[in-house]
Amino acid sequence: MTEKMQNQPMQPSQPWMASVLTLFPDMFPGPLAQSLAGKALAAGLWSLHVTDIRPFGVGVHNKVDDPPFGGGPGMVMRPDVMAAALASASDGLPKDMAKIYLSPRGKRLDQPLVKELAAGPGVLLVCGRYEGLDQRVIDAAGLTEISIGDYVLSGGEMAAQVLIDAVVRLLDGVMGNPMAHQQDSFENGLLEHPLYTHPRDWGGNVVPEILLSGDHGRIAKWRQEAAMALTQKRRPDLWEEWLKSEAKEDQSKGKKLTK
């Protein structure tokens, strides 16, 4: 057997699925077996399917890579090997399931994309190693390249775990309070406001008085203003995008009022 399935209770409807192709299947579920994601996996709120790429390799040693044409350092994962692994992993999956290759040159993963993936049936994730995949199999399989940031990892496994965790927490029934994620960073285009809890006075550092007022309107205003100030200071790129979106929304509201 080249594939393994995590044990989960049967569900009346098909849960969101993460189908992962990797040379290191023992890395899964890894941290995804802990905390919210782990509890949700055990409860059958999502499923994990892992395909080991190695058995699809060629020759007696199941070779999966070769040197790049044109020269250069490193090795490239072979298209014939990856195509065979993809065909096996894709068998029986919904045709509209997203197919993603974790790559530092891909589109950056952000919260809107996470929401889009959470709304679908699941995702097929290809974890590359070495210098990456042969371009021909990326094109032939219609893989979308996604990056989790402007840095390079040893392989796509940890990037896949980041993507899965970000999606799973948005699935129905995973978070105790289904509204909790709506105040997260990026949910409304801004970073999250500062958070405070007990004790009120910690070594002379006191909680802002307004948060103790009980005035929910003033508290909401303070949090919004704090989120705006934090975003403007730390992420000017997000701040500019937020200003543009607010301007568009105001323009849209203005058009509706004139009709």
Helix 35-42 and helix 157-168, axial crossing angle in degrees, nearest 10:
80
Separation of alpha carbons 68 and 20, rounded Å: 25
131 counts as catalytic: yes
At position 229, the amino acid (one-letter code) is A
The answer to whether 14 touches 121, Cβ cutoff 8 Å, is: yes
Active-site choice (52, 104, 129, 134): 104
Give, in order, the Cα–Cα distances in Å from 180 to each of 15, 37, 176, 187.
21, 15, 8, 11
Selected catalytic residue, list 15, 25, 134, 169: 169
The tokens for 93 are: 């999956």
The span from the CA of 34 to the CA of 32, in Å, is: 5
Q: Which of 139, 172, 184, 246 is catalytic?
A: 184
For residue 145, indicate whether it is catalytic.
no
The reply to whether 169 belongs to the active site is: yes
| Cα gap 248→92, rounded to integer Å | 42
Give Cα separations from 84 to 62, 90, 96, 165 (angstroms). Answer: 13, 10, 20, 27
User: Is residue 201 annotated as part of the catalytic site, yes or no?
Assistant: no
Task: Considering the candidates 3, 131, 145, 192, report the single residue annotated as catalytic.
Answer: 131
Catalytically active residues are 104, 131, 169, 184
